[in-house]
């Protein structure tokens, strides 16, 4: 092992464990994505592969958690039924597994994974008090709550990709339209098909008075700001957190009680350092997710060729 590898291997192994629960090797569920008898809902050249295939997914995940925390029903479900405090990495790994299975797996695998999550959500019910002390029932599979979680995810992964990712085939509208398939798999009724439509639906939650900041919100934001990472990863995490916060809309930052980590309209103080950090992580973990490589194996076995412009770009 080279001297450089000796220095970087502890960081690489801890990054890999953080994302998939294994320090070395490829998880079996990733290798299983090479199985299946269809090309999947998405493929090379799709907006979904472009958005989900880069390191921008790391700050995107941070941002998505912050946005989800704006909805007291979503927050109550996590607080009452999730072990995020005791096992945050396990919850992260489970979320990543669903995302990559839907993005890169066969249609059968994506549908099975989504149905599995839906069955788990059937037990996620309860009630919470809003800022005025009024009690509200919640259920993870409630259409409005499903819509909020779907859009919080899509909006965050898109925002991060636009900030740090590669060009998106078809642009923002293509990603929102394509990822609506994932929303439908999870039971979202008529998910947005364009960027503007998604922003309008997100803001409607605020106009209707649903979004709010409570003591529970502050606790979750504090946890996301300083998660229990390996010591070697803690030094760089604030850069990614600030980068994620910098991509939030001013209104969402206001509700969360977060200040913009940059001056005026200049985003370089947070965007550029986060980009450097993500470039370093990409150099350690590889340019393409193992899940995408497994999908290529499945597609090759089925005799499906990459679109010409994708094949040319890979040569």
Give the residue extent of every domain in the chain: 3-314
Q: Are 9 and 1 in contact (CB under 8 A)?
A: yes
pLDDT for 93 equals: 80
pLDDT for 89 equals: 64
Q: What is the rounded CA–CA span in Å between residue 108 and residue 41?
A: 10
- Compute mean pLDDT per 10 residues along the chain, 315 residues long, and list them: 60 77 83 96 97 95 94 90 68 88 98 96 92 90 95 97 96 98 97 98 96 92 90 89 94 93 58 91 88 96 78 48
pLDDT for 287 equals: 78
Count of H-run helices and E-run strands, the chain: 17, 2
Total-model pTM: 0.90
Judged by phi (left if over 0) then psi (alpha if -120 to 50, else beta), residue 185 lies in alpha
Contacts of 256 (CB under 8 A, 6+ apart): 66, 69, 70, 213, 217, 221, 248
For 190-237, give the DSSP string.
S---SHHHHHHHHHHHHHTT-----HHHHHHHHHHHS----HHHHTTH
Q: What is the rounded CA–CA span in Å between residue 17 and residue 247?
A: 27
């Amino acid at each position: 092992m080279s001297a450089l590898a000796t220095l970087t291997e502890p960081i690489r192994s801890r990054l890999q464990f953080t994302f998939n629960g294994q320090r070395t090797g490829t998880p079996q569920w990733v290798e299983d994505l090479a199985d299946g008898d269809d090309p999947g809902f998405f493929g090379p050249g799709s907006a979904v592969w472009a958005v989900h295939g880069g390191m921008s997914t790391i700050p995107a995940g941070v941002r998505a958690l912050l946005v989800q925390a704006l909805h007291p029903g979503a927050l109550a479900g996590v607080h009452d039924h999730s072990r995020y405090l005791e096992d945050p990495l396990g919850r992260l790994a489970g979320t990543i597994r669903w995302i990559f299975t839907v993005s890169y797996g066969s249609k059968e695998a994506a549908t099975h994974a989504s149905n599995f999550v839906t069955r788990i959500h059937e037990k996620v019910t309860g009630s919470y008090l809003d800022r005025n002390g009024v009690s509200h029932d919640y259920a993870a599979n409630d259409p409005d709550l499903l819509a909020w979680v779907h859009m919080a995810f899509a909006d965050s992964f898109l925002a991060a990709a636009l900030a740090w990712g590669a060009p998106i085939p078809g642009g923002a509208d293509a990603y929102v339209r394509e990822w609506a398939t994932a929303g439908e798999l999870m039971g979202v009724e008529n998910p947005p098909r364009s960027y503007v439509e998604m922003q309008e639906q997100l803001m409607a939650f605020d106009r209707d008075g649903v979004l709010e900041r409570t003591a529970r919100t502050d606790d979750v934001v504090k946890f996301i700001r300083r998660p229990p990472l390996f010591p070697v990863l803690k030094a760089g995490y604030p850069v990614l957190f600030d980068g994620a916060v910098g991509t939030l809309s001013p209104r969402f930052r206001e509700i969360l009680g977060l200040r913009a980590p940059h001056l005026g309209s200049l985003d370089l103080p947070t965007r550029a350092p986060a980009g450097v950090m993500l470039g370093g992580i990409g150099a350690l973990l590889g340019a393409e997710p193992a899940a995408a490589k497994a999908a290529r194996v499945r597609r090759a076995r089925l005799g499906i060729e990459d679109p010409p412009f994708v094949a040319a770009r890979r040569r």
